[in-house]
Structure 1
Amino acid sequence: MSPENRPRPGASPAPSPARALRVGAAKADITPADLTGLHPMPGDFRAVHDPIFVRVLHLDDGDTEAALISLDLIEAGDITPLRERIERELGIPADHVVVTATHTHNAPRIADVSPGALAHAGGPESRAYTESVYDRVVDALGRARAAARPARFGAGTGRADVNVNREQYVDGRWVIGQDPDGPSEKSVEVLKFEDLDGVPIALVVNYAVHSTVVFGTSEISGDLAGAACRHIEDVLQDGRGGEVVALWTPGALGDQAPRIDLGVPFGVAPDERQKARAYAAMEAQGLLVGAEAVRVARATRDLRGAVRLGAGQRAVACPVKAGRDVMETMRQETVDTVPLRLSLLRIGDVALAGVSGEVVTELYRRLRARSPLTRTLLVSIANDRIGYLPDEARFDRPVHSVNGCPIQRGHVESAVVDGVLDLIAACGPDGGAR
């Protein structure tokens, strides 16, 4: 008997039969009309280079409803108010909703900073923008739910080498640079959803990289993730059905940078030639990931129309560690504990494991090695963004992911790995969380 099918305390004695899957997807433009006060870093946005979107996926197996929401934003803080609004207005349980951000640094942030978290808090303009984004998310999810139709699901894995470990030891100190020999997860994970006539509905793409190719241009952009999604949606839109939606989910990106970026020190205004090169690099690297996702999707033919869904969430109170050598605009509230939010969407033997921080490569690899499921995809910045989340061994070095971690040593790895494994067990083969 495989690990995932072994009886667990509290589990049903026999799993219920797989159910017919219904899927809907939609997207909406969330480009701010007024850019004033919306840059989460020092400085201001001065223009819009390319629009940013929210993309949503609605899943229903007849007993369990769940939703995945991907925002072209640098981050979303405590997103509990949005999830609770979705439950009130649409009836989808709040703990069945996972919200993540693509982590493009050329976009605003939304929602409040959790007590103890290390993040850039927004002002009144950010709060107003947050409410407008919430409205568009709820509208898009309502449209996706209304458009849901019988569907098939499959998963596949590809590879793209556009990320590189960014924690580099230079001249006796650790810096954010490029270490080609450092750990780096190159997998492009793809979840494919199509209707019973073979018309694509949505792709979920999971990849580990900071979308920071054009960071420093002071222009709104979906960056690398946005370029990848545009390519996928353009190629898979074949005219036979509605809009294809590509949802980007950030993997273990806490220590991963794009291979090519603007190349100008932060705070130094680039000239037009430098900006043009950066946007060309953005499109090229996005194309590489997007094209690989399309290839994987087209090669994924073992699709199932009957799967069981499971969903659940939990919060772990972790002892706070103060940030060190972080940006001067970053503030951390003085409290004893910070909430680490964990979430899970399970589609048959595939799990999307959400963690409310920027997880590093080695921590994800430990989780994946211990997971009993066929595929366990890690989604960073899910339902909150409290800071970086390094593995235990990394605390021996004063690297950026440790300096920017708000949780004390000895608590991060166990909270993430054991917490997700507990959720996998709770969201077992008989459906929703028990």
Structure 2
Amino acid sequence: MTSPREEPLDSDAPRQEPGRLRAGVVRTDITPTDLTGLHPLPGTFSGVHDPLFLRALYLTDGETEVALVSLDLIEAGDITPVRERVERQLGIPTDHIVITATHTHNAPRIADVSPGALAHAGGPESFAYTEVVYDRIVAALHEARSSARPARFGIGTGTADVNINREEYVDGRWTLGQNPAGPSDKTVWVLKFESLDGDPIALLVNYAVHSTVVLGTGEVSGDLAGAACRYLEGSYDGDVVALWTVGALGDQDPRVTIGVPFGVAPTERQKGRAYAAMEAQGLIVGAEALRVADGIGELTHAVRIGAGQRTVPCPVKAGQDVMETMKQELVDSVPLRLALVKLNEVALAGVSGEVVTDIYRRLRHASPLARTLLISIANDRIGYLPDDARFDRPVHSVNGCPIARGYAEDAIVDGVVGLISEHLRAAR
């Protein structure tokens, strides 16, 4: 018997010749109608500046199905329940589903906090909203799958100088600021999906930056990521859906923010400047993504998809100097979740936390596939994930890391490389 919230298993999966790509995409509004109790940080939302969306991409090669979902939210915690629900109702395997958040800080969070993780736990209103988002994820993937059509895809890269390292040493201490000399990955990755007739279907964009331009306005907003997606979708007259995924953003902020201390009410002039900065920086990344997409000349219909996930239990480290609203459960280990979606020689590697730049640099060097993208906050958000060397200084990413030194970096690099290698061996 199915629960009242569920439909019977969908048996209408598209049938096709193996090795031929089909793609379907859906964009759904997830702006909450009642903002009460939904602010993940201390405070309340006073209104909505721009809407929040769920964007779902379904892909199949005739044998393997995968689903990629991007949510205009600050974070999604342990998203296992909805992935299991998708498997029950649609038949897409749980470990073939990657759900991520754009990490806009002017939006709610959803789902439970994993034991040992450092995240802002939600109240009753947050869990009620979680169920709303879960329903829309399932419905969106059902629609994306039903509308999937023969497609081809290509990949390209550009650069955008919108992000900047935020670990700054000032007056004898480490703080959140701007460090132009610190590591920063400026790469804009773009995966382009179109029909065999050349009609646009979807763009998947990957860039490493916090969407915190308008943090402090107190208004719901998709922030920088939302502005970039609006620009891209508008550039195609609404005929394309742009999915934003965050790269190694753990030590990256936007260059221009509202500039008002958190908890201090901004003036209307300051808010106006912040939203102008949001649109401008979203335009810069969006315009570069559009330039890259228009320049992708080689697209292929012949695609082999691989997917898999693994969970690595890591020893817990207590958070230091974190917000009082972060209540870390006292357990021995915290689950680090890794995910892989492979499209031919392109690897999308998901990690369940905010990965810093140096870990991604090591992963790219170690990966057997040159085109390896990292997606932070994938299927969970347990906290910051700094490289081992960073533990020598009390920076924000170390203080907010729930994993003991010597574990996260190796677990991410070795785990992702292991997943990729397994699929490469199976393909031979």
* Correspondence for 1:413: 409
In structure 2, what residue type is equivalent to 1:56?
A
Summarize the alignment of residues 124-203 of structure 1 with structure 2, pairs less than 5 Å apart: 124-203=124-203
Aligned-partner Cα distance in 1 for 2:266–2:337: 38
What SS does structure 2 have at the residue aligned with 1:248? strand
Alpha-carbon distance change, 291 to 333 in structure 1, aligned in 2, over 3 angstroms: same
Aligned-partner Cα distance in 2 for 1:35–1:355: 29
Assess if the C-alpha contact under 8 Å between 2:213 and 2:278 holds in 1: yes
Assess if the C-alpha contact under 8 Å between 1:308 and 1:430 holds in 2: no
Contiguous gaps of at least 5 residues in structure 1: 1-16
Summarize the alignment of residues 369-380 of structure 1 with structure 2, pairs less than 5 Å apart: 369-380=365-376
In structure 2, what residue type is equivalent to 1:58?
Y
Aligned-partner Cα distance in 1 for 2:95–2:322: 32
Aligned-partner Cα distance in 2 for 1:430–1:418: 18
In structure 1, what residue type is equivalent to 2:372?
T
Shift of residue 374 of structure 1? Answer: 2.7
TM-score (ref. length: structure 2): 0.95
Assess if the C-alpha contact under 8 Å between 2:207 and 2:245 holds in 1: yes
Shift of residue 244 of structure 1? Answer: 1.1
Assess if the C-alpha contact under 8 Å between 1:348 and 1:429 holds in 2: no
Shift of residue 426 of structure 1? Answer: 2.1
In structure 2, what residue type is equivalent to 1:232?
L
Shift of residue 18 of structure 1? Answer: 7.3
In structure 1, what residue type is equivalent to 2:140?
A
Verify: 1:404 aligned to 2:400, yes or no.
yes
What SS does structure 2 have at the residue aligned with 1:306? coil
**Which whole-Å deviations, capped at 9, do the CAs of 1:202-234 have from their partners, x for residues lacking one?**
000000000000001010000000000000011
What SS does structure 2 have at the residue aligned with 1:178? coil
In structure 2, what residue type is equivalent to 1:366?
R
Aligned-partner Cα distance in 2 for 1:214–1:73: 14
* Correspondence for 1:101: 101
**Which whole-Å deviations, capped at 9, do the CAs of 1:49-82 have from their partners, x for residues lacking one?**
0000000100000000000000000000000001
Equivalent residue in structure 1 for 2:329, among 330, 333, 336: 333
Aligned-partner Cα distance in 1 for 2:229–2:136: 19
Aligned-partner Cα distance in 1 for 2:423–2:81: 23
Verify: 1:301 aligned to 2:329, yes or no.
no
* Correspondence for 1:228: 228
Larger mean Cα displacement after TM superposition, 135-144 or 119-128 = 135-144
Summarize the alignment of residues 108-127 of structure 1 with structure 2, pairs less than 5 Å apart: 108-127=108-127
Assess if the C-alpha contact under 8 Å between 2:18 and 2:63 holds in 1: no
Shift of residue 425 of structure 1? Answer: 1.5
Shift of residue 412 of structure 1? Answer: 1.0
**Which whole-Å deviations, capped at 9, do the CAs of 1:372-394 have from their partners, x for residues lacking one?**
11300000000000000001110
Aligned-partner Cα distance in 2 for 1:371–1:83: 27
Assess if the C-alpha contact under 8 Å between 1:165 and 1:183 holds in 2: yes
Aligned-partner Cα distance in 2 for 1:95–1:227: 30
* Correspondence for 2:10: none
In structure 2, what residue type is equivalent to 1:126?
S
Aligned-partner Cα distance in 1 for 2:399–2:123: 25
What SS does structure 1 have at the residue aligned with 2:145? helix
Verify: 1:292 aligned to 2:292, yes or no.
no
Shift of residue 296 of structure 1? Answer: 0.2
Shift of residue 261 of structure 1? Answer: 0.3
Larger mean Cα displacement after TM superposition, 133-142 or 106-115 = 133-142
What SS does structure 1 have at the residue aligned with 2:178? strand
* Correspondence for 1:11: none
Aligned-partner Cα distance in 2 for 1:248–1:189: 10
Shift of residue 428 of structure 1? Answer: 2.7
* Correspondence for 1:365: 361
Summarize the alignment of residues 74-85 of structure 1 with structure 2, pairs less than 5 Å apart: 74-85=74-85
Contiguous gaps of at least 5 residues in structure 2: 1-16
TM-score (ref. length: structure 1): 0.94
Verify: 1:245 aligned to 2:241, yes or no.
yes
Equivalent residue in structure 1 for 2:273, among 240, 258, 277: 277
Shift of residue 181 of structure 1? Answer: 1.0
**Which whole-Å deviations, capped at 9, do the CAs of 1:407-427 have from their partners, x for residues lacking one?**
000101110000001111222
Shift of residue 328 of structure 1? Answer: 1.1
In structure 1, what residue type is equivalent to 2:321?
D
What SS does structure 2 have at the residue aligned with 1:402? helix
What SS does structure 2 have at the residue aligned with 1:409? coil
Verify: 1:351 aligned to 2:339, yes or no.
no
* Correspondence for 1:256: 252
**Which whole-Å deviations, capped at 9, do the CAs of 1:6-61 have from their partners, x for residues lacking one?**
xxxxxxxxxxx971000000010000000000000000001000000000100000
Assess if the C-alpha contact under 8 Å between 2:248 and 2:355 holds in 1: yes
In the alignment of these two chains, the number of paired residues is 412
Aligned-partner Cα distance in 2 for 1:223–1:209: 11
* Correspondence for 2:310: 314
Aligned-partner Cα distance in 2 for 1:185–1:316: 26
Aligned-partner Cα distance in 2 for 1:260–1:147: 40
The RMSD of aligned alpha carbons is 1.2
What SS does structure 2 have at the residue aligned with 1:418? helix
